[in-house]
Chain A
Amino acid sequence: MFDLDKWQEIYSTINKNKLRTFLTGFSVSWGIFMLIILLGSGYGLENGVKREFEDDAENTLWFNQGTTSLSYKGYKPGRFIEFKNEDFNQIRKQDDVEHISGRFNIFENNTLSYKNEYGVFDIICCHPDYSFVENLTSSQGRFLNQRDIDESRKVTAIGRLVAEALFKGEEAVGKYIRVVGIPFQVVGVFEDPGGDRDLSRIYIPLSTGQMVFNKQDDVGTIAMTVGNVSVERSKEMAEALKKDLAQRHHFDPEDQRAVFIWNNVENYMQFMTLFANIRLFIWVIGIGTIIAGIVGVSNIMMIVVKERTKEIGIRKAMGASPYSIVILILQESILITSIAGYLGLVLGVGLLELASKYLPKTDYFSNPEININVALGATLILVMAGAIAGFVPARKAAAVKPVVALRDE
């Protein structure tokens, strides 16, 4: 393969037909360029939506309290359904419930202070497992734990922005902040991929919240993660849990407004299926474009072979084997497609890089990118494309009969 002579020959034919070679290469470049741009945009779309989901774990089920809309067993509609400790404890026992937490927000008087620093932030009462639901990570100290709940401790985990606002760089863990006038000890500072809003809040143990804010045994919203269950199983679980709640709270299981269920598993899966389809679609279009390029190259190589019939005949008379002729044509075709395709690849990736750097990140589009495997795959397609494009013309070239080729016209 590595034969200076062959390369020189290829170079000289390419050199003689610059425009033709350029046009051929362009069709392949364009094909690869489009494939890369399409794939990159697809990933951008996917990343954008994935970012939306990143706020919370992807496998969560949320039960929100609602108001009954149907009369049931003598109860009138319009009753507010409140989840209690017992509901929480019942649901916790169910199969496939991985992490579970109640959650309620304190909306009034939520002024926090440390020494002379004051700030207004959300206060959320929850169980320790809530860190899994929200995808939290503790950057300092720890999150709430079971003993905090059991002993109704006055402790709190605060968001990074809260820590910055109140402590101004001072070490926060171990210090006391005042929450509506009551001192709570900071046990940790957390990070949340959900962004600024989710970082401007503090979490306190749900049991403490029930006491301090006079919530009795209300647990508010119940959120849980369900491990790796299928979409069907998650729906089934939601259905079963709703029935269970309906029984305990005496509402019609068919009542759409008594409990609001948000099934993230289902939504996430829907998006993922959508993206799988989009990706498939993109590949089909991209490969279609490349095939057009291949046909272009093949066509040109066919003309090349026809133009070089005489030369091939001479070579054969001089003792060239059909194999050496095939290699000659194949190599030229692979060379053109590889270089042109590589150029398209580089341009496409370059454009994507620029886009991901300078385009604003929106909810539905961020970081258009192409991973290394896809780039490698595209490169492989290129070389294969070159080989396929060269194959038919090469076979034709090898079949050239020296007699016919050398006939004087």
Chain B
Amino acid sequence: MIRLKTLHKSYTTGYTNLHVLKGIDLEIDKGELVSIMGSSGSGKSTLLNVLGILDNYDEGEYYLNGELIRNMNEKKAAMYRNKYIGFVFQSFNLISFKNAMENVALPLYYKKISRKKRNARAMDYLERLGLREWAHHLPNELSGGQKQRLAIARALISEPSVILADEPTGALDSQTSMEMMDLFQEINNAGITVLIVTHERDIAARTQRIIRLRDGIIESIVANGERKKWLADQKMA
């Protein structure tokens, strides 16, 4: 599904050159539920941006669904994003002056689906996420958990193959966070690849694989079942 080959990315700000990703090799299969962990500055957000084609990279290769994503113009990138990727953000990123239904329907607008059809489908997804009666409310009338569910509905509506979630529980309390993880689990069970960037251990613990980033390289990849063993190894070392 996702394949990275010695991916490099650096930012130039003024005279300083910041090398953020220093050769990432990674393979994520279809239907996996993976988390990326790392302290701030480890490059996890940058990696997510590259994966989401929100940002480009300098060296290496990135294959999404078997297609090489490289030096894309904005238009093509927008098309790929719309087709393959659903985003969930920490701060929800809902459009404040649109109601819940319109927010969810937005990706379909860029797929050039008629208003009637996309609103019907948006209602469908709101129903599934238990937000039907909130369809005509503006985002600021909803709770944090509801907003995030709204954002998830929006990510799902275009039927993407990958969901990229950037700290999706960062703004939520722990109970809502767990509910959110249940939701991701459910989505994953439906066959959609889910990638969650987080710095919370208990969130990462609920994924199948944890990718640890440190200073722009992958420090370790741990399959969840082996986590205890890995921890023990760490202690022994």
Contacts and interface: CB of A to CB of B under 8 A. Distances in A.
Nearest to B83: A319
Contact of A12 (B78, B97, B111): B97
A5 B108 CA distance: 12
Contacts of A398: 74
B115 A319 contact: no
A319 B90 contact: no
A317 B155 CA distance: 10
A314 B111 contact: no
Contacts, number: 69
B109 A5 contact: yes
A13 B96 CA distance: 11
Interface string B108-144: 0111000100000000000000000000000000000
Contacts of B82: 318-319
B78 A319 contact: yes
**Residues of B in contact with A, size category:** 20 to 34
B107 A318 contact: yes
A316 interface: yes
B79 A310 contact: no
A249 interface: no
A4 interface: yes
B87 interface: yes
A321 B78 contact: yes
Interface string A22-40: 0000000000000000000
Contacts of B87: 317-318
A319 B107 contact: yes
A319 B81 contact: yes
Interface stretch (A79-87, A134-142, A400-408): A400-408
Contact of B110 (A4, A16, A318): A318
A310 B109 CA distance: 18
A322 B93 contact: no
B154 A318 contact: yes
Contacts of B95: 311, 314-315
Contacts of A4: 115
A323 interface: yes
A315 B96 CA distance: 13
Interface residues of A, number: 25
A273 interface: no
A324 interface: yes
Given A5-B109, A406-B54, A319 B158 contact: yes
A406 B93 contact: yes
Given A4-B115, A5-B115, A403-B49, A322 B74 contact: yes
Interface in B91-112: 91, 93-98, 106-107, 109-111
Contact of A317 (B52, B74, B96): B52
A318 B106 CA distance: 7
Contacts of A314: 93-95, 106
A320 interface: yes
Contacts of B79: 319, 321
Interface in A308-357: 310-311, 313-324
B75 interface: yes
Instruction: Kindly name the residue among A13, A310, A313, A319 whose own CB sees the greatest number of chain B CB atoms within 10 A.
Output: A319
Given A13-B97, A319-B83, A408-B90, 5 more contacts: A16-B97, A316-B78, A317-B81, A319-B111, A402-B54
Interface of B: 49, 52, 54-55, 74-75, 78-79, 81-83, 87, 89-91, 93-98, 106-107, 109-111, 115, 154, 158
Interface of A: 4-5, 12-13, 16, 310-311, 313-324, 398, 401-403, 406, 408
